[in-house]
Amino acid sequence: MPGSFSIFKLAAFALLLLFAQPASAQLSFKPTAEAVQEDKLLNALKEGDKISGRISIPDRNAANLIQPAGRDWRDFHRGKLPWIGGIAILGMVALLAVFLMVRGRIRLQRGFSGKTILRFASFERFTHWLTASCFIILALSGLNVSFGRTLILPLFGADAFAAMSAWAKLAHNYLAFPFMLGLVVMFLIWIKDNIPGKVDIEWIKQGGGILSNGKHPPARRFNAGQKGIFWIVIIGGALMSVSGWFLIFPYLIGNVTELQVWTVIHAVIAMLFIAAMLAHIYIGSIGMEGAFDAMGTGEVDVNWAKEHHSLWVEEQQKKAGAPSDRTPHAVPAE
């Protein structure tokens, strides 16, 4: 009997070895283990779908626990957007620096005449500076959202960065409204001078005379380059305003997916807008001699006006009934 007992025990042990499986193999077949693999769960959801629960408060959006598309949105903001912004803004700065080194400052060919002509009235300059000053604060506070954590936080510390960001965010929200007002007024007062025409095609063909000394294609009140800036400001500003409106008042038009789309539009347009305005600021200040006076005092030197806006000067002289060698608002330059 002892012998038969040993054989029985041996057979039982062999059966155990035969049917026994490693612990890991057992776990891999547990339904609960499959269910908690987040990647598989999220990938099983279609784009835009959400994992939602039930809540008792009126805010239905609070019931959304997970929105898989939000990962793509987050990756865009952390990954692609800084590259888009960095390339657009730093690329423009580098381009302008190279242009300044190669071309130098665009100077007046005949020098200052000492006579000036009114280029922008007070209300026009007020509108320009209203929009421009708001834009600068909006741009800096917006860049803080995208780059502040990386660039400013290490310099000033968490407390100072938090305080600055809170104020910047408030300024961004509220200065957006006078910015939008400025956009509308600018559109109304300058649209008539910014309709593209045949003169602009010739101006573009000659590259605006920017690359060659002493060669200035004719232009009316605004040349093709200035018209381009005008439409960038109007169209870009309109896109920024509409998208910004949906960010200030979230869920105004749709669900969280649409909100994410508008944030992407707002951020990408903002980066391109800032890059374009850097070019505008450059050519209106250090890039071109005598250009800043137009928005500074409102009056530009007659020689400057004749070189850059010859057709406009002729129109003004005709309006004033002045001979071609005189100016309608000739006053001593400051």
Partner 1 sequence: MKVFITALAFAAIAASVVAVTLNSIQEPSSVAFTTSGARVGDPGNNLIGPS
Question: Applying CB under 8 A, which residues contact partner 1?
Answer: 56-59, 62, 122, 125-130, 133-134, 162, 165-166, 169-171, 173-175, 177-178, 181, 298
Q: How far is the CB of 58 from partner 1 (least distance, A)?
A: 5
- What would the two tokens of residue 278 be? 């850097």
- What would the two tokens of residue 235 be? 């169209």
Quick one: 300 or 313, whose CB is closer to partner 1?
300
CA distance 304 to 313: 10
Quick one: 84 or 136, whose CB is closer to partner 1?
136
Q: How far is the CB of 258 from partner 1 (least distance, A)?
A: 20
Quick one: 39 or 159, whose CB is closer to partner 1?
159
**Residue-by-residue DSSP string for 93-161:** HHHHHHHHHHH--B--SS---SEEEE-S-HHHHHHHHHHHHHHHHHHHHHHHHHHHHHHTHHHHHHHHH
- Please give the span between the terminal C-alpha atoms of the chain, in angstroms, as a whole number: 125
Quick one: 128 or 216, whose CB is closer to partner 1?
128
Q: How far is the CB of 16 from partner 1 (least distance, A)?
A: 57
| Residues contacting 121, CB < 8 A, separation 6+ | 298
% helix / strand / coil in the chain, to the nearest 5? 70, 5, 25
Q: In Å, how far are 175, 182, 196, 224, 295 from 185, measured between CA atoms?
A: 16, 5, 20, 21, 16
Q: How many Cβ atoms sit within 10 Å of the Cβ of residue 260?
A: 18
Quick one: 96 or 130, whose CB is closer to partner 1?
130
Quick one: 122 or 324, whose CB is closer to partner 1?
122
301 three-state secondary structure? strand
Quick one: 27 or 62, whose CB is closer to partner 1?
62
Q: How far is the CB of 295 from partner 1 (least distance, A)?
A: 9
Quick one: 58 or 214, whose CB is closer to partner 1?
58
Closest residue by Cα to residue 247 from 189, 176, 298, 188: 176
- Contact yes or no for 128/314 (Cβ under 8 A): no
Q: How far is the CB of 134 from partner 1 (least distance, A)?
A: 5
60 three-state secondary structure? helix
Q: How far is the CB of 55 from partner 1 (least distance, A)?
A: 8
- What would the two tokens of residue 308 be? 């850059």
In the block, which residue shows the tokens 């509108």? 127
Q: How far is the CB of 166 from partner 1 (least distance, A)?
A: 6
| Residues contacting 128, CB < 8 A, separation 6+ | 120, 182, 186, 295
Q: How many Cβ atoms sit within 10 Å of the Cβ of residue 155?
A: 8
Quick one: 22 or 58, whose CB is closer to partner 1?
58
Q: How far is the CB of 209 from partner 1 (least distance, A)?
A: 29
Q: How far is the CB of 130 from partner 1 (least distance, A)?
A: 4
